[in-house]
Structure 1
Amino acid sequence: MKNAVNQPHWLFQGAVILTIAGLLSKILSAVYRVPFQNIVGDTGFYIYQQVYPFLGTAVMLGTTGFPVMVSKLLSEHGEENRRVITRVSLLYITMMSLVLFLCLYIGAGWIAQMMADSQLILLIQMCAFVFLFLPLTVMLRGVFQSDGMMLPTAVSQMVEQIIRVGVLLVLSFYLVRHGYTLYETGAGAVFSSIAGSAASLVLLVILWVKFRKQMFSKITLKRATLRNKDVLKSLLLYTLTICVSGLLMIWMQMIDAFHLYSLLRSGGMSEADAKAAKGVYDRGQPFLQLGTVFAISIGTSLVPFLSSAMRNGHHDAIRQKVRTSVKSTSVLGIGSSVGLICILSSVNTMLFRNDLGTDTLQIFCISIAFTSIAITQTALLQGLGHPIYPAIVVIISVLVKWGLTFVFVPLYGIQGAAWSTVFGFVTAAVLNAVYLKRKGWISMRELFPVKILLSAALMAIVLLGYQALFSWAIPFEKRPFSVLESLTAVFIGGIAFLYSILKLDVFTDEEWRLIPLSEKILYFKQMRGK
């Protein structure tokens, strides 16, 4: 059987499959929070969101962190090093997973105390068990990916997410319906992640058994050229550059999980009110995740393209790709952020049954623009051969968020937490942009996208005018009317924004051709020109 790595067509197809699976998983991960919040309410949502950063860390390490490290090492070195890389990687990831498991399981009491909620201990301990599935899951995904076989990883990701979401919603509905406490319901929600991880591992083992002969055929009797410490050194470097860079959004959530509720309580808010307020604040997470899906898509495709182009010295193509990617992300990030801010009251009611915390969520949604830009910039820097800098930027940005949380929350409550999040992501976007500008990959036009901001301003005027007209014509505040208003506003705002983008020539014809699925838009633009 031919090695898939030597088949560029199959390798490209596999990368596309993996990208699509990752995007669908991200979308599903954002969307399920809405029915879950509708089932458990804001307090129940608060309980789950307090421990979600631990689950999110496991998901990131098991999908885009550790497997990428393993596959990268296996792909870069010869078959003679396959055994030593696999052995050292398995030992390293097992040790890392055990450390994380013990930190959560043994330290659950201390973590719950830091969060000012002792009832979270059981949920934190349950989160620890998800990390026990990582070593074997990661190694199987990494080995498959190193051979260009992306389908096993893609299918296992989708199965994991579908099982997790399905079990979470069904079990939560059952537990609430039968009178269990919200903390017991939260434990059921955490159990769904364990079920998803187990299902994914079982599927990967089945696929490995099916393809094991192909895997064993790669074993060679040649003497390994890599030493154990060489592999370990690479793993440590990749942990910093790949894993840390991918944890920006998770760490931002973790700061809120550790400090927001406790700061609200220390400010004089009652236990019930503080939990509900944190739950309202957490409504912003689905918006942020959905708003950054496109940036994640761009980032996934950029790294291999830029790495290859850098090796071949195609600097003009790289510069064009970098600027188009930054511009595309800015268009969708800024457009999504501004549009959502304008219609957030009706969207909040449509999704979460009321418009509580709309002012806070509007602040929070500013983050969508800067997060999208920062994610794309990180992928650009990694592909351009600067992987350490974005990891350092992530750490600095998290420290900014952490420091401002203690300053703003006592003064402004959950609005302060939203502002600290915004400034954290602004820090990441600005620092990355300055570095890209200094290296000559972007210009002032990408740093200050005046035409994009004008297009967003026009869309905002249209949306505000439409909402005023809708409120005059239908002066009711019931949920069905909020659904109607939200959906029609999204359509009208999108048309206004696209028209402005075309009218102001934000993209050149050449740039339109580099953007996926833009053929119809380019055809319309050319017809309008005639």
Structure 2
Amino acid sequence: MASNLLKGTMILTVGLLLSRILGVLYVIPFYQIIGEEYIALYQYAYTPYSIMLAIAVSGVPVAVSKFVSKYNALGDYATGRKLMKSSMLLMSITGILGFLLLFFLADPIAHMIIKDDEADFSVGDVASVIKYVSFAVIVVPLMSLIRGFFQGYQRMTPTAISQLWEQIVRILFVLAGGFFVVYIMKGTEKTAVSFAVFAAFLGALASMVVLYWYWKKLRPEFNVMMNDSGKTSSDVSLRNIYKEILVYTVPFALVGVINPLFQFIDMITFNSAMSIIGISGDISNILLGMLNFSAHKLVMIPVMLATGFSMALIPYITSYYAKRDFLQVRKSLDQSFQILLFLTVPAALGIAVLSGEFYHLFYEQSETGSTVLAHYAPVAILFALYPVTTAILQGIDRQKLIILNLLLGILTKLLLNTPFIKAFETDGAIMATACGYLVAIGLNLFAIRKTLHYKSTMVARRILLILIINAVMLVLVYVVKSGLQNLFVIDSKMEALLVIIVCAGVGAAFYGYVTLRLGLAQKLLGEKVTRIAKKLGFKEK
């Protein structure tokens, strides 16, 4: 199980990592095309779009993978196929309805976000970009259904590859369209942003092409599995199928909405709270763009691991839970928590220590921007933990608790955001986000412990060890960074990149050596790492 879970996770993780890297790298030229002040306009379109997708489809891949995995574990492959066939039309209709809803609500949403007297852009500008991005909602529900079906068979490659191609096509159109509008047609940055958000639709179409290719390739194998099971027709009614899917989907639709909804809370409260303490709309727009787009893009890099874990973890937990194999369920939890923190903590804290160099490399030299990134980066650990804890609750059929814990987390963010922003400005929004996630994660962990009687002293000790090693590593990285800054002034992007490479290399070498020396890496990352460690002279502890 451990190797299969790790393999499935790594396939998704590699795909998501490449997708996330592309999603960050494109920001460098795009930032230069549209400028700092128009980043907020781009984000004003994507946040409502993300919320609409989360409500409409974010739970679909997880729900379908859970459903298919459950019935496959029972030898009933036909029921999963029945769901797939009957849901194609339903998801197509859902996509069209979601598009119409977002398109016609663009103006009311824009009025919630911004006032007409804002200097950089108007309510009409915000409504326009929301309408352009709404076209992507047409395709995404069907795409999500197909991805979930593959994941139910523990086939993670179609999801990973389709996500990668979706990102590639989207980014190509974002950059080509933006360059063409601004430099060839001499158009405005507002028009370039409209073209950029429309690229989400083209990326989704590219993903559908990839998924269709995988379906043609894997369908014969799936047919053999169904025929060999001796059951080629389903006894489960469509009504019961959709009832079960709805129970699975609703909690994860809400789970998927937490991050964009937190950003939306910032969007509707940040400018007004900042104006109360005397900060102008132009400045607060730039600060909000730094928080919700520039810094957020970099902060979410470590979080891709959690996404891979949550998507790969659910089918396994569901399968073992359906068989009442609680020992394997607990082993899955042990492995997941440790590997997640083992890889996420150093990445998040490393970005915080090197925030000035990262912000300079991807955007521009900005003391304010680097400070926002440094304070925001550690929150990535919470962003990573949340989907994994909710995936576990989903796998053990505790959907109602997911909803309750989520709502309490959102309520915490909503109540704290404005007073925290008034007191701490941009840091206040970050603190409110961290508090909201801490409430939701803490309640999730409490529910997991009560339901599964889960308690592992071994996991607690290893997590403490991981934190200690990271603390020492960060001190070392900071010393190396300070030494480089004393040698030369970091004025260019190449010099910022050099500092990142040297400091990250030193940190990674230290982290790798210590964890291999202690045997921690071998225990967490499996047989291949153990074999490599032995060749390097490290003994397994």
* TM-score (normalizing by structure 1): 0.84
Q: 1:203 to 1:330 in 2, by over 3 A?
A: closer
Question: How far apart, CA to CA, are the structure 2 residues paired with 1:335 and 1:311?
Answer: 35
Between 1:492-501 and 1:38-47, the stretch displaced more is 492-501
Q: 1:51 aligns with which of 38, 45, 52?
A: 45
Does 2:139 correspond to 1:133? yes
Deviation at 1:295, TM superposition (A): 2.4
Partner of 1:328: 339
Do the aligned residues in 1 keep the contact of 2:477 with 2:503 (CA within 8 Å)? yes
Separation in 2, partners of 1:395, 1:295 = 21
* Pair 1:250 & 2:260 matched: yes
Give the structure 1 partner of residue 301 of structure 2: 290
Q: How large is the Cα RMSD of the aligned pairs?
A: 3.8
Change (3 A) 1:26 1:241: farther
Partner secondary structure for residue 526 of structure 1: coil
Taking the aligned partners of 2:159 and 2:490, their CA distance within structure 1 comes to 48
- 1:377 deviates by 2.3
Counterparts in 2 of 1:82 and 1:22: CA distance versus 1, 3 Å: same
State how far apart, in whole Å, the 2-side matches of 1:450 and 1:84 are: 47
1:471-521 deviations in Å (ceiling 9; x for gaps): 221134343322211221111122233344456x48385x24538745434
Mapped partners of 1:229, 1:62: distance in 2: 20
- Quote the residue 1:108 is aligned against: 106
> CA contact under 8 A between 2:303 and 2:384: conserved in structure 1?
yes
Pair 172,495 (structure 1): closer, same or farther in 2 beyond 3 Å: same
User: Which of 363, 385, 397 in structure 2 is aligned with 1:373?
Assistant: 385
| Aligned equivalents of 1:251, 1:516: Cα separation in 2 | 40
Distance in 2 between residues matched to 1:481 and 1:176, nearest whole Å: 29
- 191-200 vs 12-21, which moves further: 12-21
State yes or no: 1:274 paired with 2:280: no
Cα distance in structure 1, aligned partners of 2:20 and 2:135: 22
The letter for the 2-side match of 1:287 is: L
Unaligned runs of 5+ in 1: 1-8
TM-superposition CA deviations, 1:149-190 (whole Å, max 9, x none)? 766555433322211011112212222324322221110111
Q: Is the 8 A contact 1:303 1:379 kept in 2?
A: yes
**2:129 corresponds to 1:123:** yes
2:477 aligns with 463
Q: Distance in 1 between matches of 2:339 and 2:69?
A: 31
Question: Deviation string for 1:282-310 (max 9, x for gaps)?
Answer: 32212222111222233333223333333
Cα pair distance change 1:135/1:114, threshold 3 Å:
same
Q: Deviations over 1:344-397 (max 9, x none)?
A: 112221221213322222111120122222233233333344344334333322
The farther-off stretch of 164-173 and 35-44 is: 35-44
Q: 1:309 aligns with which of 320, 341, 354?
A: 320
Q: Residue 238 in 1 paired to residue 248 in 2?
A: yes
The 3 A distance-change label for structure 1 pair 141 and 297 is closer
Q: 1:211 and 1:488, CA in 2 relative to 1: closer, same or farther beyond 3 A? A: closer
Residue 3 of structure 1 is matched in structure 2 by none
Cα 1:268–1:334 shift into 2, 3 Å: same
Stretch moving more, 512-521 or 429-438: 512-521
- Report the CA distance between 1:207 and its aligned residue: 6.7
Bigger shift: 421-430 or 135-144?
135-144
Give yes or no for contact 1:18–1:151 (8 Å, CA) kept in 2: yes
Range with greater deviation from structure 2 (241-250 or 184-193): 241-250
**Is contact 2:375–2:427 with CA below 8 Å preserved after alignment?**
yes
Distance 1:457 1:211 in 2: 46
Q: CA deviation at 1:333?
A: 2.4
Contact 1:512–1:518 (CA under 8 A) maintained in structure 2: no
2:251 is paired with a residue whose SS is helix
- Consecutive unaligned residues in structure 2, runs of 5 or more: 115-121
* Structure 1 CA distance for aligned equivalents of residues 305 and 521 of structure 2: 20
Select the residue among 350, 354, 361 that pairs with 2:361.
350
TM-score by length of 2: 0.82
> Taking structure 1 as reference, are residues 140 and 440 closer, same or farther at Cα in structure 2, changes over 3 Å only?
closer
Q: Which amino acid aligns with 1:421?
A: T
Match of 2:263, as an amino acid?
A: Q
Q: Which residue identity does 1:372 align to in structure 2?
A: A
8 Å Cα contact 2:46-2:130 kept in structure 1: no
Whether the 8 Å CA contact 2:154–2:312 is kept in 1: the answer is: no
CA distance in 2, matches of 1:74, 1:316: 22
Q: Which amino acid aligns with 2:63?
A: M
Distance 1:367 1:405 in 2: 15
Question: Quick check: 1:492 aligned with 2:506?
Answer: yes
How many Å apart are 1:95 and its aligned residue? Answer: 5.0
